[in-house]
Chains A and B, each alone.
Chain A
Amino acid sequence: MSTASQTPKDNRLLAALPEQDYRALLPFLEPVALPLAMALYESGGVQGYVYFPTSGIVSLLYVLENGSSAEIAVTGCEGLVGIALFMGGETTPSRAVVQSAGRGYRIKAAALKEKFEAGGALQYLLLRFTQALITQMTQTAVCNRHHAVDQQLCRWLLLSLDRLPANDLVMTQELIANMLGVRREGVTEAAGKLQAAGLIKYSRGKITVLDRPRLAARVCECYAVVKQEYDRLLPADSQSFAH
């Protein structure tokens, strides 16, 4: 995957930095490809880098010691992966996996930490992102507990689509089941319902959203809670993120 055409400003946090702070960070940013299924962090591992995606989606999965896991948040070009590092966690309790291939920039842990500690616009933005991420995690928790699988699937599809340029998602039902922390049959049934209603088309591992407004009408309020918090806390973008 070529990284030639991307710029760090494709990441909304980096784009929102004042020019001076941006320039100070620039020499430390290294372009990286984020291929499907690449693990940026393993649970309990030490983080060498913080990642700023410019495209694609990274899933944060929480892994229990019996191996079962559930997705607790998704991050794309609106954020960064690796907040444990500047928030004072030595290791990350979650696993970060590329759920939809893309690209981004990474920065060495020590370099980012130093800039963060200096305060200013970078710290401000990163803390706001942290709060948005916490909201996404807590809302996901309550949604997973109480809402029907087809509603959870709608939420997951909309949150993912917000982070992608097109209406297609490449995904297996097994992966979705892992993400939602439900059994595969549950996802098959939920996806079947949405397909029968003409909201999505699912074939050979590719989900195409056919009717976004109706998907948005069917989703539980958890999606709006997360979206509003992201819109309120994070810098607006005129490009890919807006729908």
Chain B
Amino acid sequence: MSKLVVVEKQIVVPGEILAEGMDFLPGKGTFREGENIIASRLGLVNASGRVVQIVPLAGKYLPKRDDTIIGVVKDMSYSSWFVDVGYPYEGSLSMKDATAEFIERGASLSDYFAVGDVIITKVANVTKEGNIDLTMKAPGLRKLNGGRVIEITPFKIPRVVGKQGSMIGLIKDKTGCTLFAGQNGRIWIRGSSPEAEKLATDAIYLIAEKAHTSGLTERVGEFLEKNKLENQK
């Protein structure tokens, strides 16, 4: 007899038994031991059909192919840039993938991206050894000018964006800021004033703190409304 030992959305710790029997399949953040499925990280249980998986509550960014992320240019060589993507090892952006323009022989690469530039980029490929290949050849990928970048746990980015971008749309509306959330947990904010950027930052930190609760959009709406009024006084 197979049965689920835990309930949906329950918080589990590593090593807890989630399900007994071979009818269930181990998903992300779980593994099989004998006939049981065991949690391997701290998170919320998500059992959809036969697959039992863990939605992590904390953790570091693991690059995946096709992730759109925010990176910082750290270094460059003759034909490529090295970009910090929030992972222990830098991603490499080669000349061929960096721009559609023709780069003349002997041109300085810093005319395109200089050290310290913040860019929206995409993960083209990740090898098993953790080498990350980046590309700028997709719609919306560009160098970012002005604003600020904040960092939260990457697993909370889906909550910051919300269903069909509802949450991020709300913050944009109420603060008048331009926002971009990268899948590596970095969020770029540019507003008309430092106060507006601060308000958007606070709202995002609030989401990150309460990410596992329900009714979050209303709560953030209230928070923005309350602080907006104070700003106007």
Q: A and B, one complex? A: no
